Amino acid sequence: MEPSLARYIWSHTKRQQLWIVVIVVLSMIPYFLSFDLPKLIVNGPIQGGGFEAPGATQPFMEFSPDLPFIGEIHIFSGFELTREGMLVALSLVFLLLVIINGLFKFYINTYKGRLGERMLRRIRFELVDRVLRFPPQYFKRVKSAEVASLVKDEVEPLGGFIGDAFVQPALLGGQALTAMLFIMVQNFWLGMMAFAIVSVQIVLIPQMRKRLLRLGRERQITARALSGRVGEIVDGIGTVHVHDTSNYERADIAARLGRIFKIRYDLYQWKFLVKFLNNLLAQVTPFLFYLIGGYLVLRGRLDVGQLVAVITAYKDLPGPLKELIDWDQARQDVQVKYAQVVEQFSAENLIEPEIQTVRYEPVGALSGPLAAVNLSLADDGGATLVERVSFEIHPGETVAIVSTTAGGAEAVAEAIARLNRPEGGKVTAGGVDLLELPEAVTGRRMAYASSDVFLFHGSLRDNLLYGLKHAPLRPATYEGGEAELRRWNIEEARKAGNPDFDLGSDWIDYGAIGASGPQDLFAVVRNVLNAVVLSQDILDLGLRSPIEPKRHKALIDRVLELRNALRARLEEEGLSELVVPFEPGAYNKEATIGENLLFGVAAGPALADKALAANPYFLSILRRTGLGRTLYEMGLEIAEQALELFADLPPNHPFFQQLAFMTPEEIPAYETLLQKLTNKPFEAVSPADRAMIVALSFAYIEPRHRFGLLSEDLMERIVEARNLFHQGLPRELRGQIERYDPMTYITAASVMDNILFGRIGHNHPDGPERIRAIVTEILETLDLHDEVLDVGLDFNVGAGGRRLTGGQRQKVDVARALLKRADFIVLNRPLAALDQRAQGQILRNVLEEARRGGHSPAVIWVLSNPAMAAMFDRVIVFSAGRLVEDGTHETLLAGNGIFKELLS
């Protein structure tokens, strides 16, 4: 990156900077004129210059420039105006100039703002682009949060400054110069005076400010030291007492405070001294103007209008000067920041941009062998992992790599995936060094999965298809306003040096996986998911998620069929008690009190969770039925029980998942609340506190929590309140709730809840598991299995895929690698989170799935269990960083080598 900020800015924005400077210069003309005008107004119409005779007129807008060599030419003789008329006309011109000046300012400010923002966009993009091109080793040294904050925060002030970088000094300097020049023109000596004082200001103030900066830094350092010292005293208080050194500590603290006081006092003094001087210098000039200028007027060497104009012009001088000084400070600050960013983002061995060029056309298969030639690898510390290893793997071969602990097999796999750059030797594909192949080739014709999986925040589908998004293959078509916006986006992206790839295009490379488009993609994906045994997991996720109504219309249309099928099946198996259905006129004991009251699912925030207890309409129902008090008392009881049960558990304890009433963070709040409310009559409790307590009762399920708080009578009253609630539901709340209706699909609820349309009984052994098995079967018979699987693919995996289990993440990674239909599939102990049996099953499936549709990729699998090597054509054995054995499973087994040892 360009080490000098000024040069960086200049090289990318010189045309714009020059343009804006031209505009600034142009803007100086009306600016200058607006100084001259007061003189004309005062001397002309006000003082009556040129209007000595009554009824005299003067020409307005006369234009007869006096050109050199040619002399005066008469172009326009102007309008003849009286004294009053002239006053009005000149004042209007003044107003016009004010507006023109304002417009210039407006244009300049927006222009440089846009310039700055564009440059900020460019810098940020450039930084992230470099991140994408850093060699893999670089990432082992940097913290991701630091890089992110550099891109986000540190460069932010740069954007603001870049717009100002050249314009600000030009504009402010120009303004100051214009004002100066104007004064000079009026009277040379007055001008020299102003100039002298301004020079003092410009030299002195920044010097004085330097001391302010130094003091500020000192203040920060001493304050930090103080807080460290106080912390030390607190931690070492025992030692202080033991040695009777409390007074020594007092002395130390007092001394430090004294030092801080001195610095701060200095700071104030200096700060206000600078201010005082600045003001003084600014005010001394008018004083001199009045005095000397006045004297000159008295002597008739200067007219009053000129003096007024000089004073007005001078008013505009200190402002720009101060800003100029500020600009200089910002420049220094930004330069330091920029230097830091450049330093952080400078790395050797950046990946060449050509390696990553976007490629739209398909890449031909890698037909040559993959070979390691004298390959040596080291870890970050420089310790050798693999030494001078050579082997060759032919297309279509399946190879198991087995190694002793620290044998080096994993490092070799990483080197093949280009995640670890060789210390010596190379890895080649068809004779070409892998590092010289474009990523378009390695990323498409080779696949890699390891146990160290990274999933991006997004849906499961996005993550599975991530490995197919190499280029915007199917451009999206835009019309009308969208097309306009797209054009604008392209233009802006180019101006800021960003690529104009459209994120809205379809990036998925359907052809590579043998699909013709989105319509038959799913069939391919499903095979792969089956191979890695992920279908059931995804089905479960689908069952637990709400659907996208437009996409999964089949589920909405056939929900009754599903519900009936489930009922019939349960009946058949004598399990009809397993699910307690929602019935409009009955209390459902297995559901929460909240659900029973609402008898529906909150579709918006107004009735969701704890907001329900504060909703005015809902409260009015509680009041009318007298339930408010009952539920409040119940809430108190629950609070007491819950606090007793959970108060001394650490906040991240898994038991909190069982506590449906409150989150660990809420516990302290409820503790205080409970203390406050004990023995306080219901009527005296504030509505907010009441809502907090009542909300606790909503999560209560008698068979689950067993506090003994639900009586038959209460259940009846709740059903009554439910009916009242739905009868009078105000219009604005209608969109906030989807009522439980046996005949319709509830879009706000999960697929499972929709099929069950009830709650699973809590006291049935393995209730949820049995229901799940039955529902899976029903989905299969009704041919809705794939539909729910598709819902499951919408599941958001969370940051880094954390909402999936470790095993699921690894399966997704293998599926992703399989899906690419690459020529070389490298699997580096990809399923470490699974048990041996599951690993073996998936391994078999994957070897088979890789060959689907006539493909015959080479599969290179680093095994964690050598016993599985029997399924491969060839076995390579590493020990202590060396390749020790290489051959078919049978030959290795026959020999008495390390492989046999590993097996036993």
Residues that bind another protein (CB under 8 A): 641, 644-646, 649-650, 653-655, 658, 703, 705-708, 762-765
Nearest approach in angstroms of CB 704 to another protein is 8
Q: How would you classify residue 195: left for phi > 0, otherwise alpha for psi between -120 and 50, otherwise beta?
A: alpha
> Which residues make beta-bridge pairs with 886?
876
Q: Which residue, 262 or 653, is less far from another protein as judged by CB?
A: 653
In this complex, which beta carbon is closest to another protein, that of residue 702 or of residue 813?
702
Q: Which is nearer to another protein, 83 or 705 (CB)?
A: 705
CB contact set of 152 (below 8 Å; sequence gap of 6+): none
- State the minimum distance, in angstroms, from the CB of residue 761 to another protein: 9
838 in Cβ contact with 868 (< 8 Å): no
| Minimum distance from residue 534 beta carbon to another protein (Å) | 24
Rounded distance, CA 324 to CA 171, Å?
A: 9
Kindly state the smallest distance separating residue 610's Cβ from another protein, in Å: 22
Burial group, residue 276, by CB count within 10 angstroms (0-12, 13-18, 19+): exposed
Query: What is the rounded distance in angstroms from the CA atom of residue 606 to the CA atom of residue 733?
Result: 8
Residue burial 471-508, b: 16+ Cβ < 10 Å; e: rest:
ebbeeeeeeeeeeeebeeeeeebeebebeeeeeeeebb
- Nearest CB to another protein, comparing residues 762 and 855: 762
User: Closest approach of Cβ 592 to another protein, in Å?
Assistant: 16
Q: Which is nearer to another protein, 367 or 658 (CB)?
A: 658
HSE of 737 in the Cβ direction (CA atoms, 13 Å)? 26
DSSP string across 319-386: HHHHHHHHHHHHHHHHHHHHHHHHHHT--SSPPPGGGG----SPPPP--SPEEEEEEEEE-TT--EEE
Q: Closest CB to another protein among 480 and 654? A: 654
Q: How far is the CB of 780 from another protein (least distance, A)?
A: 27
Beta carbon nearer to another protein, 54 or 708: 708
C-alpha count within 13 angstroms, C-beta hemisphere, residue 349: 10
**Residue nearer to another protein on the CB measure, 384 or 641:** 641
Q: How far is the CB of 263 from another protein (least distance, A)?
A: 50
- The dihedral formed by the CA atoms of 748, 753, 759 and 763, expressed in degrees to the nearest 10: -130
Instruction: Give me the least distance between CB of 645 and another protein, in Å please.
Output: 5
Distance separating alpha carbons of residues 395 and 399, to the nearest angstrom? 11
**Minimal distance, residue 705 CB to another protein, in Å:** 7
CB closer to another protein, 382 vs 708:
708
Type of residue found at 29? I
Q: Collapse the DSSP code of 816 into the 3-class scheme (helix H, G, I; strand E, B; otherwise coil) and give the result.
A: helix
Name the residue nearer to another protein (CB basis): 512 or 642: 642
- Output 681 or 765, the one with its CB closest to another protein: 765
Phi (first) and psi of residue 228, to 5 degrees: -60, -40
Give the closest residue to 21 by CA, choosing from 207, 177, 172, 184: 172
In whole angstroms, the minimum distance from the beta carbon of 711 to another protein comes to: 13
- Closer CB to another protein, residue 381 or residue 654? 654
Q: Which residues pair with 428 in a beta bridge?
A: 371, 433
What is the distance between the alpha carbons of residues 695 and 611, in angstroms, rounded to a whole number? 8
Q: Is the Cβ of residue 637 or residue 689 nearer to another protein in the bound state?
A: 637
How far is 311 from 283, CA to CA, in rounded Å? Answer: 11
Q: Which residue, 71 or 708, is less far from another protein as judged by CB? A: 708
Rounded to 5 degrees, what are φ and ψ at 761?
-60, 135
Minimum distance between the CB of residue 717 and another protein, rounded to whole angstroms?
A: 21
Residue 256 vs 704, nearer CB to another protein: 704
Least distance from another protein to the Cβ atom of residue 652, Å: 12
DSSP 846-863: HHHHTTGGG---EEEEE-
> Contact at 8 Å (CB) between 412 and 406?
no
> Going by DSSP bridges, is the β-strand pair 469-474/446-450 parallel, antiparallel, or unpaired?
unpaired
CB 755 within 8 A of CB 624: no
- Which amino acid appears at position 604 of this protein? G
Of 765 and 854, the one with the shorter C-beta distance to another protein is 765
Min separation Cβ 755 and another protein, Å: 23
| CB 630, min distance to another protein, A | 18
- Specify the residue for token string 């990156």: 1
Question: Residue 647 in contact with residue 671, Cβ under 8 Å?
Answer: yes
- Smallest gap from residue 771 Cβ to another protein (A): 15
**Closer Cβ to another protein, 623 or 653, answer by number:** 653
- At 861, phi and psi to the nearest 5? -120, 115
Please, what is the minimum distance in Å from the beta carbon of residue 593 to another protein? 17
CA 793 – CA 459 distance, rounded (Å)? 7
CB of 486 to another protein, least distance (A): 54
Rg (CA), the chain: 40
SS (H, E, C) 303-336: CHHHHHHHHHHHHCCHHHHHHHHHHHHHHHHHHH
Cβ neighbors of 217 (< 8 A, separation 6 or more) are none
